[in-house]
Structure 1
Amino acid sequence: MQGGVQNNNLKLLPSEELRISTFHKAKGRIPKRLRVPLAVNPHQMAIFQALLQMDKYTVIVKRKFVKGEVRYYAHMSYEVLEPKVRIGFQNGAIGLDFNYNFITLVHIDKAGNFLSYQQIPFRNLHSYRKGRRDNYASFKLDKVINYCINKGKGLIIEDLSFDQSFSYNKKQNRKLNQLKTSMLPLLERKCARHGIAVRKVHPAYTTIIGVLKYSWSLNFSEHVLASYVIARKGVGLVESLPACYEWLLAQVGGVLKPRLNPSSPYWQWAQLYDLFKHYGVTPFRSPDPATNLKRNLLVALDTVLDGLNPATGVPPDNLRAGLLACGCG
């Protein structure tokens, strides 16, 4: 079966022509019709032959200036029913994180354990013209599809209906947001076409949780760790605060005012982030992917402990000893 509405005003013909019905009547109620020859791209001939067998499709004719000449392009689109989902989340998931110039994929099992990861670079995608940029993006997203098919697991992505703050500069943030809003819908269509299940999760604190919780045990960049958290969210796992950070927040007392409602699942993570930010430490994005996050986190904790000393009255060495006893370091 095929979805859509039948359009008799623009009709493709086997002779590689486009039949256009005009508003002028010839005899009786039959409109005058024009036949315009088409030059079909050889790479798209299979799609053209498939369109000839369909009754419902849409044709849009666009005029473009190419090298000083006026050219007309016919764009065809049609609706198909989505195939049945074949690849789901029974055995785990693939978490996807969009970055400024690459995609990070993380493969986990059904218990949320880290198995493997892959990064797909974009090179200088924003320097391309729209047509080439779309084709290049589609080519790169096919690698995501192949990764999901090879692993046999569904895809977890961020839900763009929620606001998310980034820590790049303003220009990069804008380009990253444009990249997400244009590529994620295309990725969803590709997944539907191949029967890959897609699940969306709230994007809040994925990088912060990844760095603060998993950089102790996984020696990867913050982008990989963020993808790991996205995948774990997608299979329904809740990221609890490690004991060492609970102990650290207990020492703060009333130093920081809570920013989120205590009923929020991210309340403690927001407190922890605000604590680091309060003392001028935000080790959650690094320009160098090879940066040792664990080492940076230890330095950040030292800075926080030194700042907490006047507020709590506890000597920094005692604070460090308590932190080590809870498992940090």
Structure 2
Amino acid sequence: MTQAESRTYVNTTTHPWAVAFLNDAATVGYDAKIECLKLLLEQNPPNKSKLNTQLQQNHNINKRQANSIIAYVEGAVKSASECRSNHLELLQGKLKHTTEVITNLEKKIKAHRKYLQAVEQVNRGKKKKVPKSLKPKYPDACSMRCAHHLTLYKQAQVKLHQKKRYAHKLRQKISHIKTSPLHVNLGNKYTVEMIGSKDESYGNQICQLDLIGKELHIRVPYALLNRYGKYIQFPIRLPKHGTDLLATAWYNRQALTYRFIQKSLTEWEIHITFDVEPAPRITAPVSWGAIGVDLNPSCIGWAIADKDGNLDGFGQIKVNIQSQPKGRTEAILVDVVTQLTNLALEYKRPIVVEKLDFSDKKKRLRELSVRHNRMLSNFAYSKFVQLLKARCFKLGIQVIEVNPAYSSWIGLIKFMSMYGMNSATAAAFVLARRGMFLSERLPARTAYQETESRKHVWSHWRLVAKLLKGSSRHSFCQPRLTVYSRLRTARSDSSPSTADNPIQGVWRGR
């Protein structure tokens, strides 16, 4: 069951009375945030009750306002701690892969050095011949791209030196991050947070929305009572999108959190955050069929499986997000998501996508080719899934994430030549069947004797994928030998076409 998700709707205000009040409230709140941050970092664990009392006394604010400041600063500290741990994990992963490259280079250079020493001894007459155990690891030639005309052996030595320098730099960074104190960024100075709760009236005690009168009523801090009075109210324009959801949350007295951010000297943004319930599910259960989606850098393949797991339709959507601006990439993905959700609404079936994680690959970007790095950097998988889930959340479409292990190989071997599909749509069909909890056994033509029959079927596909690694994908598109083709071949009197092409009607995939 899909849970409620947080949604934020943004609007602006240029009311002069509101702008003046928010400027003063941001100044008071920022000083309280700095003191709260110092106390939170010093106390472990912090005493929130004592901290709240101290903030009220030192900055002349009420209890609810102090609670909002503490909640905001706690979130900033938690975010900084998570970012720090993620950064350390990334650097440690890069160091690990760099160390592996250094070890392999050292072994290769050492073996080649022994070979060169043996050749030198043969040239001097100390040995009759080079031992068979010693073989050259680098050809005695220069790379065409080397501007200094160094041999491949010299280039390997230079590469080893640069890798060692890079590893030393990574170790220094890791050591510095571990020993340095936590750095927390509190964001824009001119920001006012008013965090709500479902236990408070109309979702927030210090900032309340009058939906009928289209006004905001804000409780003024004690430090500003002489200037603005106990309450301040100003008109607000409701957001163009999501007004009905905001009205539902306001009527049900859900927690409403307000955040005011200064855009210019005369304009402030108003962010209203609340929980939104998902739309009623309109898609059928996954056992009645699914739509599989396979995301690739150049195209997005989709395939529909019926309730029996058979193919019910397929296609692909061409995309070009290579070196595109951020806004253009998002616009392209929005169009793709719209087409896929329209397809799901037409067939009333859930969407199955692959659950990918590129964190390990991004740690090895320096060891990969330039073309592979560019493709991986421009591959906006997380953005695509985020947009797809957001639209399916509004429309009531179920989204299922599955493990994509060996989906491409299964599609190539089992379904591509059977249905006349390409590799993307065949992989999408495998994902759709996997989302329906259907297993993919090896075809009989690829069967082999196996002693441990209780292994998972993916272990068999792993062996097949290892054997077929490096094969051309076009070889899997050849037609297979069926009963009909055998009978037709047997009845034919050695026609010229069959004699010219004796492999006609035989599946050529290895």
Q: Aligned in 2, Cα 1:325/1:225: closer, same or farther, shift over 3 Å? A: closer
Cα gap change, 1:21 to 1:236, in 2 (>3 Å): same
TM-score (norm 1): 0.65
Please list the CA deviations of residues 116-150 of structure 1 after superposition, one character each: whole Å capped at 9, or x if unmatched: 123344443863445x7556644532332221111
One-letter amino acid of the structure 2 residue matched with residue 283 of structure 1: S
What amino acid is aligned across from residue 315 of structure 2 in structure 1? Q
**Aligned AA (1:85):** R
Residues 1:95 and 2:287 are matched in the alignment: no
CA distance in 1, matches of 2:441, 2:338: 34
Q: 2:467 aligns with which of 271, 275, 281?
A: 275
Map 1:257-276 onto structure 2 (within 5 A).
263-276=455-468
C-alpha contact 2:479 2:506 (8 A) present in aligned 1 = no
Percent identity over the alignment is: 20
Q: Paired residue for 1:58?
A: 257
More strand by share: 1
> Does structure 2 retain, via aligned residues, the 8 Å contact 1:25–1:32?
no
In structure 2, list runs of 5 or more residues that go unmatched: 6-196, 363-367, 481-501
Partner Cα distance (1:101, 1:24) in 2: 59
| Structure-2 separation of matches of 1:237 and 1:283 | 27
* 8 Å CA contact retained: 1:20, 1:35: yes
Is this contact kept in 1: 2:408–2:423, CA < 8 A?
yes
Which residue does the alignment assign to 1:219? 420
> Aligned-pair distance for 1:231?
0.6
Specify which of 252, 272, 279 is matched with residue 76 of structure 1. 272
Quote the offset at 1:283 in angstroms.
3.4
Structure 1 counterpart of 2:342, from 146, 158, 179:
146
Kindly provide the amino acid, as one letter, of the partner of residue 269 in structure 1: W
Residues 196/43 of structure 1: CA separation in 2 closer, same or farther (3 Å cut): closer
| Cα distance change on mapping 1:50 and 1:82 into 2, 3 Å | closer
CA positional deviation for 1:294: 1.4
Query: Deviation string for 1:43-66 (max 9, x for gaps)?
Result: 66656666664633333334558x
Matched, 1:111 2:303: no
- 1:97 and 1:325, CA in 2 relative to 1: closer, same or farther beyond 3 A? closer
Superposition deviation, residue 164 in structure 1: 9.0
SS in structure 2 of the partner of residue 103 of structure 1: strand
Inter-CA distance 13–120: structure 2 relative to 1 (3 Å threshold): farther
Tell which deviates more after alignment, 51-60 or 104-113: 51-60
Give the direction of change, closer, same or farther, for the CA distance of 1:79–1:100 in structure 2 (3 Å limit). same
> Is contact 1:244-1:326 (8 Å) kept?
no
| Distance in 2 separating the partners of 1:25 and 1:274 | 71
CA–CA distance in 2 between the matches of 1:140 and 1:189?
A: 13
State the distance in 2 between where 1:81 and 1:115 align.
32
The correspondence of residues 201-220 of structure 1 with structure 2, limited to 5 A, is 201-220=402-421
Specify the alignment match of 2:395 in structure 1. 194
Q: Greater CA deviation, 158-167 or 201-210?
A: 158-167
Cα deviation, 1:68-92, whole Å, max 9, x if unaligned, reads x986433333213334433222421
Q: For 1:138-193, what per-residue CA distance to the aligned partner results, in whole angstroms no more than 9, with x for missing partners?
A: 453233222111101122222347989799812322332xx322332442343344
How much does 1:219 deviate? 1.7
More displaced, 192-201 or 50-59?
50-59
CA distance in 1, matches of 2:394, 2:457: 34
Deviations 1:203-259 (A, max 9, x none): 101111111222221222111000000011111211111122225xx6xx9xxxxxx
1:109 Cα deviation from its structure 2 partner: 0.7
Aligned residue number for residue 221 of structure 2: 23
Contact 1:23 1:31 in 2 (8 A): no
1:239 maps to amino acid = E
Aligned residues of 1:283 and 1:296 also touching (Cα < 8 A): no
Q: Map 1:317-328 onto structure 2 (within 5 A).
A: none
Name the CA shift for 1:263/1:32 in 2 (closer, same or farther; >3 Å).
farther
Aligned to 1:312: none
8 Å CA contact 1:13–1:52 kept in 2: the answer is no
Residue pair 2:321, 2:378 contacting (<8 A) in 1 also: no
What's the secondary structure of 2:457's corresponding residue? coil
Give the distance between the partners of 1:27 and 1:151, measured in 2 at CA: 60
TM-score, reference length from structure 2: 0.45
Runs (5+) with no aligned partner, structure 1? 254-260, 285-290, 298-320
Distance in 2, matches of 1:92 and 1:268, equals: 26
Cα gap change, 1:141 to 1:161, in 2 (>3 Å):
same
Give the AA of the match of 2:372.
Answer: N
Letter of the 1:211 counterpart: L
RMSD: 4.3
User: Is the Cα–Cα contact under 8 Å of residues 164 and 203 in structure 1 kept in the other structure?
Assistant: no
State whether structure 2 residue 416 is matched by structure 1 residue 233.
no
The answer to whether the 8 Å contact 1:97/1:227 transfers is yes
Give the helix-richer structure, 1 or 2. Answer: 2
For residues 38 and 126 of structure 1, what CA distance do their matches in structure 2 show? 40
Partner of 1:171: 374
How many residue pairs are counted as aligned between the two chains?
276
TM-fit CA distance, 1:325: 8.9
Q: Sort the Cα spacing of 1:158 and 1:211 in 2 relative to 1 into closer, same or farther, 3 A.
A: same
1:275 Cα deviation after fit: 1.4
Larger Rg: 2
Indicate the SS of the match to 1:238: coil
Q: Aligned equivalents of 1:201 and 1:222: distance in 2?
A: 18
Distance in 2 (alpha carbons) for counterparts of 1:157 and 1:190:
14
Deviates more, 1:11-20 or 1:222-231: 11-20
Task: Give the conservation status (yes or no) of the 8 Å contact 2:287–2:436.
Answer: no
Q: 1:106–1:118: 8 Å Cα contact kept in structure 2? A: yes
